[in-house]
Structure 1
Amino acid sequence: MKRKPRTRPRRRRPSIGRRLFIFAVKLAVYACLLGAGVLTIYTLYVSEQVQERFAGRRWSIPSRVYSDTTLLYPGRPATAALLESTLKNLSYRPVQRMPDAPGEYRVRGSSIEISLRELTVPGRQRPAFPVRIQLAGGQIESIRDCLNEEPLHTLELEPEEVMLFFGPLREQRELIALGSMPPHLLHAVLAAEDRRFYEHAGIDPVGILRAALINLRHGGVRAGGSTITQQLAKCYFLTPERSFLRKFKELCIALSMELRYSKDEILEIYLNEIYLGQKGSVSISGIAEASKFYFGKRAEDLSVAEAATIAGLIRAPNRYSPYADAERSRERRNAVIAAMQENGWLSADDGRAAGEAPIETAGYTARPRIAAYFMDYVARQLHELYSADDLANLGLSIHTTIDAQVQRSAEQALERGLKRLEARFPQFKSPDPDKKLQGAIVVMQPRTGAILAMVGGRDYGESQFNRITQARRQPGSAFKPIVYLSALDRLTPATMLSNEPVTYNLHGRLWSPKNYDDKAPPQLLLRDALALSVNRAAVAAAMQTGLERIIACARSLGITSKLEPYPSMALGSFEIIPLELARAYCCFAADGMLPYPRALSLVTDEQGRILEQRHMEIKRAITPAKAFLISSLLQSVVSDGTARGLRAMGVTFPSAGKTGTTDDNRDAWYVGYTPDIVALVWVGFDDGRNVRSTGSGAALPIWAELMLAIPQHISGTWLAQPPGIIRFTICRRSGMPADSGACSETRVEYFLTENVPDQTCTMCRSTGAGNRIQNFMKG
């Protein structure tokens, strides 16, 4: 029997809808696999870039230029106003309570209580601690450590930051290790930006969902879903554009960072990278820099409230800045404090106290830049050691000799002095920077060569030409001390000099020196000739000494500018650089030791290791006896000569100096000094126009105002008489040792021991005998 074939049940073809669904699922699987592959490959590619970037230098840290430290000690001249000004310039914050955080101070009558910051200058380190400075009689009476009431013999305040070498991004940043940050600061940042940071792998779906719900509830953007890792990826590697591709890159970079680096490493980089505000054209980046900018503190010293304030800035630094809107900043801070409490990072009591604390900022104000000309002078020296890129990126600490308080006083004294001249001569005022009345000041320590202040012109913004280091001007009578110094081997302060008119033949050309006025007698003593700045007498002394000898003396004092052996050289007719002249006067004030001008002290790297150190350089140029003698002569300029107006200006401490005025009043000078300080002032026009005033009328008042503004640098002492000097009572009429029975006009004079006169006055003796004979004949 034939078997009947079995028939298979016919399979029903899936419907079109089912077929489409299956195709879509397969496509989705393939797409996911492909996407995962692309994501993996791109993440691995990005991971190499991340590692390469993080393995190298992560940030451009601008090098910082600092002033010198401020040394305080019992007996130093000081006032409460002066000390408070210094503290404010160091960004210390005044408080009404007892200062308890570094960077705070309180003035109470004649005492100042200061919570000092740490001093980190190599070789001069000290910890942060509280001190009390007691003032009395215009000086510091005592300094005490508030912790144990022990007296302190000296105290150094930290240096002032006066300049930064920026790169093109102009970011101001100071690095800090995660381990140096207080726990409440880390908790504040995590509470504000990424509570689950230590739980997710760089991308936090829970956080994204939570942020979305909060934003829906409030009908606007109140919370963000980006993790700290994503934020770091965005600000460190990507541009600010908003696109799907940029978001994709952000996710890949975040994942690669989480694979290669620990959470602590990522958080440390983030806290040093984030943008936290703006200071003029400069970006404030990183927690450490923000702590200084907003609160004048190190990040380690921030309170809970201050840490929450800074953490609250991260989302929108300029919107929540306490400098922009204190109330909005307070609200944002309290929201961060509440989040810290929610996460168990802050107790209710501590949270309540932090929320009620006022926001006391460091009080940022855009202070004008100081010492711009000096910074150019320093920069030229630095560029011999480091490239511009190194200075902008390596975070060097550059310590200089500048005294910020002296610098500010010099800038103010110069500007006020020039305005006084413009008030007397309105025609001097000009909108053209090239035609403005100009001036310059340099202040130096004579025994070390340290430059304490340098003002190279009236306005650095209008003219960067430094008239202290780059200008060549005739010094006029300010050169005469060098003439008389070179004459001391042959002449004495009591040598009689001729003030008679005389004509010199200079290679066929006739030249006759002229005096500023005709008040001086035909013959006068060398001391009086210098005090009264008598030109004819100066030329007479120069010709007796020898012009080549004068040039050699100038060279020994560090003057390298061109000088030629013409009689007019005695009147300062050859141009020199003002800094050269100031250096020469340092030798007079420093017992004959010539210092090298010093601006740089120390350069250290980010870790505080010394890279460069500049010690003072000095050499013996003249004997102590000659230095003392020329200083004695220049004291007469102040007591009886062209600078005698200083006393009426309030300068009562011992000083010496010389005015200078050139032909047609093109330059006005005063170079004055004490054993502690030398200051040179120049006034003139760049194009050589007449300033219609002398050194005593234009430069001297500026010098006086500057000196009165820096009493801490004026000890009030004078140079001690060295060996090699002897004193005699001389006759003022003849200059010879006085005859006690005949000379009626006498004074005490100094002589070098090798130049002691050996004959008493014959002029008064013969005049006295003649008078007695005449009286006898009349009688």
Structure 2
Amino acid sequence: MAQNKKTVTEKNVKTKAVKKKTGKKKSTAKKVQKLSLKQRFLRFIWSLFWKSSLAVIALMVIAGIYFDKKIERRLDGSAWTLPAQVYARPLVLDTQQSITQSALIKELRLLNYRPVEVVNSPGQFSVKGERVTIFRRAFDFPDTLVSKEKVNVTFVNDQIVTIRDSSANDLQHFRLDPLLLSRLHSSQIEDRVFVPFEKIPDLFIDTLLLMEDRNYYHHQGVSPFAIVRAFIVNFKAGYTVQGGSTLTQQLAKNLFLTQERSLWRKFQEAYIAVLMDHKYSKDRLLEAYLNEVYLAQNGKSGVYGIGLASDFYFARPINELRIEQVALLVAIIKGPSYYNPRRNPERALARRDLVLRMMVENGLINSNDYKYAVSDSLMLSNKYALNHRANPAFISFLHRELREQVPAAVRQTSGMHIFTSIDPVAQQDAEFAVQKGLELVDKDKQKGLQGAMVISDRKDAELLAIVSGRDVKFSGFNRALDANRPIGSLVKPAVYLTALEAGYHLDDRLNDKQIVLKNSTGQRWQPKNYDRKFRGEVSFEEALYRSLNVPTVNLGMQVGLRNVINSLHKMGIKEKIKAYPSLVLGSVSLSPFQVAQMYQPIATQGRYQSLQMIRSISSKQGELLYKRHQNGEQRFSKEAVKQLTDTLHKVTTEGTARSLRWRNPGQSFAGGKTGTTNNLKDSWFVGFDDREVVTTWVGRDDNQSAKLSGSSGALVLFSNYMKQKN
């Protein structure tokens, strides 16, 4: 019994202990359950944080790789596809050279050399009596790099007698830098002049950093201090008055981003800037910025980079800018539209003067420099400074020659330098001669006359100048190259040269009597002289210098039309020519350029060379890529050509071009030939002196009568051109 009670008691105690223990477990479980909810939330937050962090880091890494590759593609090679630069021929000065002092000064002004009292830097010249002092710019020619150099050129009776350098050493030759005529670029290639960092003036760089990014060489692409400062200034003003972007950030935006205003774009800009700053030197990035920055709008083309902007605003290279011009260009960088000096001159002037004040206060210039600089006006070049040199006529010919003569691999080279034979003075004179000459012969303004002129070099068969119409800057139909018109009496020298080659002499007699010819269909052709007279019999020489039709027809039939056609082909005419008797009076149609080619062998003692313009092409690094190799061919006897040119000289003194005696008194011409077509539709003249062959055409685009003979139309334009050479 006692044992049973004890057993019951023990069970009760165990039961209570179990209940107590169970209760503790339940309360602990509740507590654990409560802690688990909190921990789960914290764990969720922590998980979200580190996963997001990993995602952001991964995104940054991926973006970094993407941007890094993009940066490499843009900056490790050539940052831009640069336009081809087209240069005129350089003027080479020689002792005993027959060049007038005024012609040299004209050339220097075309090259934008600045006249000064004392010559002390490149791009300047002075004139004192018969001495011209020139400080030549350095230039990298295909054959050699010429350094900047100062020389004195002395004239006597419009002839160079001495060329001396600054050490008084006599020089036999001196070559000026060539004029940049044009830059060839398409809608896919921005117009730009690349300026390497070492050629950017220190004053320009120091002024830019002073005004735009003083800590440029100390920050890592992004300047937190500048961002905070801009935030405070903008907050106080209530609107955006100051930006916090560094020059590196601006470069990142210009090269890779849009102008969109958003936090995401600003983040990308800052990130790219940091990457670029880590990867490239400060000088390399500053070079890229100064060659990329937008500074103006020139018609449909933007003006990018300080090299092109310097030419656009001041018509001179960046290293020749005066202090006030440096200040203005830096001022424009702040806001090219807002501080446009042509549209907003007062605003631009105020900003320029602020830059000048900052320059003197920070020791970049002295007080005297500041005084003179701030007193100057804006002194901008002509609005169309970038456009006035190029002429669509020779540019279109250049494109044709590039396609036909230059390998495709060379044509595709970025930033190549094309050196041509174009004479900028001759080109300017030819443009003036065509415009003013057409005004003289079209006084009533009712004829709607147009004109064209092609000027070539006698010795080297190079194109010196080309004009395709009254509006010399019009880029449409190129009359000089593509206007195929009957050439009239210009064909006659080919007939007479054929005869001279066959053994005829200048004193041989030719019939000048009425003749009637029939063609294969029985049609009758009765040629007449221009004056409607017949002389019975005339000498070979007189028939040519008086441009008589009937004797020429008789001569052409005697020597054979096929032989005349063969001579025309030997003179450079490639088109098929039909053997009609009217051929010898000029029924064949040619362009002014083809006529110039036809007369080239006459002017070069019977030697044929194709007229060309491109001399050589080099890369932007100076490597020679292409050089013209032209071997002339003697196609006619020198004696026959001499007799012909002697007679063509008489054309200018006794024949159809004798008006040149009073139009151009004191000038002598080696030869010339007028050409007039039926119903006075086309007026032609080809004349040459000891250096140039000048081919001129006057007519109407609608093929109506110009009411002008060769001597009353085209010869007037030739005369105007030659007057400017005096």
Q: TM-score range by the shorter chain?
A: 0.7 to 0.9
Q: Indicate the residue corresponding to 2:681 in structure 1.
A: 666
Q: Percent identity?
A: 32
Q: Indicate the residue corresponding to 1:589 in structure 2.
A: 603
From 414, 433, 446, the equivalent of 2:458 is 446
Q: Secondary structure at the match of 2:435?
A: helix
From 487, 494, 503, the equivalent of 1:482 is 494
Deviation at 1:80, TM superposition (A): 5.2
Q: Secondary structure at the match of 1:366?
A: coil
Q: Indicate the residue corresponding to 2:584 in structure 1.
A: 570
More displaced stretch, 387-396 vs 195-204? 387-396
Would the alpha carbon gap of residues 355 and 674 (structure 1) be closer, same or farther in structure 2, given more than 3 Å must change?
A: closer
Deviation at 1:443, TM superposition (A): 0.8
Contact 2:484 2:590 in 1 (8 A): yes
Contact 1:665 1:691 in 2 (8 A): yes
From 220, 240, 243, the equivalent of 2:262 is 243
Question: Is residue 530 of structure 2 the alignment partner of residue 512 of structure 1?
Answer: no
Contact 2:360 2:367 in 1 (8 A): no
Would the alpha carbon gap of residues 222 and 320 (structure 1) be closer, same or farther in structure 2, given more than 3 Å must change?
A: same
Q: Measure, in 1, the Cα distance between the counterparts of 2:564 and 2:405.
A: 37
Q: Secondary structure at the match of 1:704?
A: helix
Paired residue type of 1:551: I
Q: Measure, in 2, the Cα distance between the counterparts of 1:496 and 1:154.
A: 51
Deviations 1:501-521 (A, max 9, x none): 011232222222111114452
Q: Indicate the residue corresponding to 1:406 in structure 2.
A: 426
* Bigger Rg, structure 1 or 2: 2
Question: Is residue 183 of structure 2 the alignment partner of residue 164 of structure 1?
Answer: yes
Would the alpha carbon gap of residues 472 and 290 (structure 1) be closer, same or farther in structure 2, given more than 3 Å must change?
A: closer
Deviation at 1:43, TM superposition (A): 3.3
Paired residue type of 2:384: A
Paired residue type of 1:69: P
Deviations 1:117-137 (A, max 9, x none): 113221254211223344454
Question: Is residue 719 of structure 2 the alignment partner of residue 685 of structure 1?
Answer: no
Question: Is residue 64 of structure 2 the alignment partner of residue 49 of structure 1?
Answer: no
Within 5 Å, give how 1:180-191 maps onto structure 2: 180-191=199-210
Q: Measure, in 2, the Cα distance between the counterparts of 1:393 and 1:594.
A: 32
Question: Is residue 612 of structure 2 the alignment partner of residue 598 of structure 1?
Answer: yes
Q: Measure, in 1, the Cα distance between the counterparts of 2:560 and 2:416.
A: 51
Q: Indicate the residue corresponding to 2:197 in structure 1.
A: 178
Q: Secondary structure at the match of 1:602?
A: strand
Q: Measure, in 1, the Cα distance between the counterparts of 2:473 and 2:629.
A: 32
Q: Measure, in 1, the Cα distance between the counterparts of 2:302 and 2:112.
A: 18
Question: Is residue 103 of structure 2 the alignment partner of residue 90 of structure 1?
Answer: no
Deviation at 1:25, TM superposition (A): 11
Deviation at 1:480, TM superposition (A): 0.8
Q: Secondary structure at the match of 1:697?
A: coil
Question: Is residue 316 of structure 2 the alignment partner of residue 287 of structure 1?
Answer: no
Deviation at 1:370, TM superposition (A): 4.0
Contact 2:84 2:416 in 1 (8 A): yes
Would the alpha carbon gap of residues 299 and 577 (structure 1) be closer, same or farther in structure 2, given more than 3 Å must change?
A: closer
Contact 1:305 1:357 in 2 (8 A): no
Would the alpha carbon gap of residues 334 and 576 (structure 1) be closer, same or farther in structure 2, given more than 3 Å must change?
A: closer
Contact 1:43 1:255 in 2 (8 A): no
Would the alpha carbon gap of residues 393 and 486 (structure 1) be closer, same or farther in structure 2, given more than 3 Å must change?
A: closer
Contact 2:413 2:619 in 1 (8 A): no
From 77, 80, 90, the equivalent of 1:69 is 90
Would the alpha carbon gap of residues 56 and 143 (structure 1) be closer, same or farther in structure 2, given more than 3 Å must change?
A: closer
Q: Measure, in 1, the Cα distance between the counterparts of 2:49 and 2:462.
A: 76
Would the alpha carbon gap of residues 184 and 82 (structure 1) be closer, same or farther in structure 2, given more than 3 Å must change?
A: same
Deviation at 1:233, TM superposition (A): 1.0
Aligned length: 694
Contact 1:93 1:362 in 2 (8 A): no
Would the alpha carbon gap of residues 386 and 638 (structure 1) be closer, same or farther in structure 2, given more than 3 Å must change?
A: closer
Q: Secondary structure at the match of 2:442?
A: helix
- Structure-1-length-normalised TM-score: 0.80
Q: Indicate the residue corresponding to 2:638 in structure 1.
A: 624
Contact 2:391 2:472 in 1 (8 A): no
Question: Is residue 522 of structure 2 the alignment partner of residue 502 of structure 1?
Answer: no
Q: Measure, in 1, the Cα distance between the counterparts of 2:56 and 2:197.
A: 36
Paired residue type of 2:577: L
Q: Secondary structure at the match of 2:480?
A: coil
Q: Indicate the residue corresponding to 2:505 in structure 1.
A: 492
Within 5 Å, give how 1:651-662 maps onto structure 2: 651=665, 652-662=667-677
Q: Measure, in 1, the Cα distance between the counterparts of 2:126 and 2:534.
A: 58
Would the alpha carbon gap of residues 371 and 175 (structure 1) be closer, same or farther in structure 2, given more than 3 Å must change?
A: closer
Would the alpha carbon gap of residues 348 and 503 (structure 1) be closer, same or farther in structure 2, given more than 3 Å must change?
A: closer
Q: Indicate the residue corresponding to 2:5 in structure 1.
A: none
Deviation at 1:21, TM superposition (A): 13
Deviation at 1:206, TM superposition (A): 0.7
Would the alpha carbon gap of residues 636 and 113 (structure 1) be closer, same or farther in structure 2, given more than 3 Å must change?
A: same
Q: Measure, in 2, the Cα distance between the counterparts of 1:206 and 1:620.
A: 77
Contact 2:392 2:473 in 1 (8 A): no
Q: Secondary structure at the match of 1:148?
A: coil
Q: Secondary structure at the match of 1:236?
A: helix
Paired residue type of 1:161: L
Q: Measure, in 2, the Cα distance between the counterparts of 1:120 and 1:360.
A: 31
Q: Indicate the residue corresponding to 1:645 in structure 2.
A: 659
Question: Is residue 111 of structure 2 the alignment partner of residue 104 of structure 1?
Answer: no
Deviations 1:464-496 (A, max 9, x none): 333333232222111111111111233211111
More displaced stretch, 324-333 vs 688-697? 324-333
Would the alpha carbon gap of residues 35 and 51 (structure 1) be closer, same or farther in structure 2, given more than 3 Å must change?
A: same
Q: Indicate the residue corresponding to 1:366 in structure 2.
A: 384
Would the alpha carbon gap of residues 596 and 390 (structure 1) be closer, same or farther in structure 2, given more than 3 Å must change?
A: closer
Paired residue type of 1:481: P
Q: Secondary structure at the match of 1:678?
A: strand
Q: Measure, in 2, the Cα distance between the counterparts of 1:345 and 1:25.
A: 56
Paired residue type of 1:500: K
Contact 2:82 2:189 in 1 (8 A): no
Q: Secondary structure at the match of 1:171?
A: coil
Deviation at 1:297, TM superposition (A): 4.7
Contact 1:547 1:567 in 2 (8 A): yes
Contact 1:497 1:525 in 2 (8 A): yes
Paired residue type of 2:480: I
Q: Measure, in 2, the Cα distance between the counterparts of 1:385 and 1:315.
A: 45
Q: Secondary structure at the match of 1:314?
A: helix
Q: Indicate the residue corresponding to 1:753 in structure 2.
A: none
Q: Measure, in 1, the Cα distance between the counterparts of 2:340 and 2:105.
A: 26
Q: Indicate the residue corresponding to 2:594 in structure 1.
A: 580
Paired residue type of 2:200: M
Q: Measure, in 2, the Cα distance between the counterparts of 1:573 and 1:369.
A: 37
Would the alpha carbon gap of residues 170 and 318 (structure 1) be closer, same or farther in structure 2, given more than 3 Å must change?
A: farther
Deviation at 1:37, TM superposition (A): 5.7
Any unmatched runs of 5+ in structure 1?
A: 15-19, 430-436, 712-779
Q: Measure, in 2, the Cα distance between the counterparts of 1:542 and 1:209.
A: 92
Q: Measure, in 2, the Cα distance between the counterparts of 1:48 and 1:356.
A: 46
Q: Secondary structure at the match of 1:459?
A: coil
Q: Indicate the residue corresponding to 2:248 in structure 1.
A: 229
Deviations 1:662-712 (A, max 9, x none): 22222211111123111111112233222212111111111111112234x
Contact 1:60 1:392 in 2 (8 A): no
Paired residue type of 1:271: L
Q: Measure, in 2, the Cα distance between the counterparts of 1:86 and 1:323.
A: 28
Deviations 1:326-350 (A, max 9, x none): 66445434544565677x7747668
Q: Secondary structure at the match of 1:65?
A: strand
Any unmatched runs of 5+ in structure 2?
A: 1-15, 36-40
Would the alpha carbon gap of residues 460 and 255 (structure 1) be closer, same or farther in structure 2, given more than 3 Å must change?
A: same
Within 5 Å, give how 1:130-169 maps onto structure 2: 130-140=150-160, 142-145=162-165, 147-168=166-187
